[in-house]
């Protein structure tokens, strides 16, 4: 079994090194930080975590080729890998369309762009030189190559759609599919396996993380409140298929987003329905362990615990390490 923690980039930069150290001490294998727009940049955050830890792997969850050029993604990943002593993993994806719309960026051909980005990153890490073309990205010249040594940094693909989940199996070293709700793992794993087999790859060679939203605390109501806040912020960025899977509608998500914009968090939180809370898992250790057994039964071999983690993320990481990880 492999275990990882995923954290949003909405905390103060100083908060992350203690969280990474706690995750390392608790027995987690990976520590991922997001790079959502208009919050804090992931690269300085993970650099600080690299200097504060010794063993745990550090990853971006995720960066995208629309707001950061693939060549610059490679440069930043290479530097983080060097700083951390070879502990970088790179999470990439197409990004959330709603967030990209905030800054007027279109998202043409997300599947082809994601696949081409992974192939070019892999070529750069391998020391290949340009020209690169005919893969869905603008052509690069013969001068397109890294001028400093690199290693084959593992590349994980983030996914929320069936076709992107299949693409994990086709091109990525690992997968970060968001399981909304967690019970989707079996169908997601089947699509990843289908993609791998179609590409002539061994599905077992792909590190498929069962990425779930978790809010854990000894106080169940406090855990629910933390998950409710996270759902309120992200609901309108979720696809119709995700909303349908938990019994919610696009109208529910739009109403929450409008309330958040016009009236602030308090009004938006009141609109988060019990159905929307099914997107994640909230409660105490017993509640979480029960849901995790279902994931294990479905074949999961990498459990990834994502935001909000709990009303106190540091306490949540310690609680997961003390009461949950040993069970598995």
Q: Quick one: pLDDT at residue 262?
A: 92
**CB contact at 8 A, 203 and 193:** yes
Q: Are strands 2-7 and 30-33 parallel, antiparallel or unpaired?
A: parallel
- The total of other beta-carbon atoms located within 10 Å of residue 266's CB is 9
How far apart CA 261 and CA 34 sit, in angstroms, is: 22
Q: Which residues contact 134 (CB under 8 A, 6 or more apart)?
A: none
Task: Tell me the per-residue pLDDT of 77-113, one tens digit each, with 9 for 90 and over.
Answer: 999 999 999 999 999 999 888 889 999 999 999 999 9
Give the mean model confidence (pLDDT) for residues 47-64. Answer: 98
What pTM did the predictor assign? 0.93
How far apart CA 88 and CA 60 sit, in angstroms, is: 9
For residue 223, what is the enclosing H or E element? helix 220-234
- 154-163 burial: b if 16+ Cβ within 10 Å, else e: bbbbbbbbee
Of the candidates 162, 156, 304, 291, the residue with the CA atom closest to the CA atom of residue 239: 162
Could you give all domains of the chain from N- to C-terminal order, each with its CATH number?
Answer: 2-216+281-327 (3.20.20.30)
Token readout for 254 is 């739009």
Task: Tell me the per-residue pLDDT of 157-216, one tens digit each, with 9 for 90 and over.
Answer: 999 899 999 999 999 999 999 999 999 999 999 999 999 999 999 999 999 999 999 999
| In the block, residue with structure tokens 């602030």 | 264
Three-state secondary-structure class, residue 108: coil
**CB contact at 8 A, 164 and 157:** yes
Q: Quick one: pLDDT at residue 8?
A: 95
Q: Binning pLDDT at 50, 70 and 90, where does residue 236 land?
A: confident
């Amino acid at each position: 079994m492999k275990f990882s923690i995923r954290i949003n980039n909405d905390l103060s930069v100083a908060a992350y090194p203690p969280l990474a150290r706690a995750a390392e001490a608790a027995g987690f294998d990976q520590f991922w930080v997001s790079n959502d727009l208009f919050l804090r940049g992931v690269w300085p955050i993970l650099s600080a975590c690299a200097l504060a830890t010794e063993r745990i792997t550090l990853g971006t969850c995720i960066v995208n080729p629309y707001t950061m050029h693939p060549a610059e993604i490679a440069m930043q990943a290479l530097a983080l890998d060097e700083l951390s002593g070879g502990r970088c993993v790179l999470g990439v994806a197409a990004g959330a369309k709603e967030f990209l719309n905030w800054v007027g960026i279109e998202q043409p051909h997300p599947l082809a762009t994601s696949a081409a980005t992974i192939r070019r990153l892999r070529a750069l890490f391998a020391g290949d030189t340009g020209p690169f073309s005919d893969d869905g990205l603008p052509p690069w010249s013969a001068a397109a190559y890294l001028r400093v040594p690199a290693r084959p940094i593992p590349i994980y693909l983030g996914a929320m759609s069936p076709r992107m989940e299949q693409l994990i199996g086709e091109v990525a070293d690992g997968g970060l599919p968001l399981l909304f709700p967690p019970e989707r793992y079996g169908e997601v794993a089947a699509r990843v396996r289908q993609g791998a087999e179609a590409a002539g790859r061994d599905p077992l060679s792909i590190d498929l993380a069962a990425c779930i939203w978790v809010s854990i605390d000894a106080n169940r109501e406090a855990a629910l409140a933390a998950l409710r806040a996270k759902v309120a912020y992200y609901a309108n960025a979720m696809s119709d298929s995700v909303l349908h899977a938990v019994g919610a509608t696009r109208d529910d998500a739009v109403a929450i987003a409008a309330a958040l914009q016009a009236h602030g968090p308090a009004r938006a939180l009141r609109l988060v329905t019990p159905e929307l809370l099914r997107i994640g898992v909230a409660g105490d250790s017993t509640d979480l362990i029960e849901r995790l057994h279902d994931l294990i039964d479905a074949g999961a071999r990498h459990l990834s615990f994502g935001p909000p983690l709990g009303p106190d993320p540091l306490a949540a990481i310690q609680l997961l390490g003390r009461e949950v990880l040993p069970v598995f």
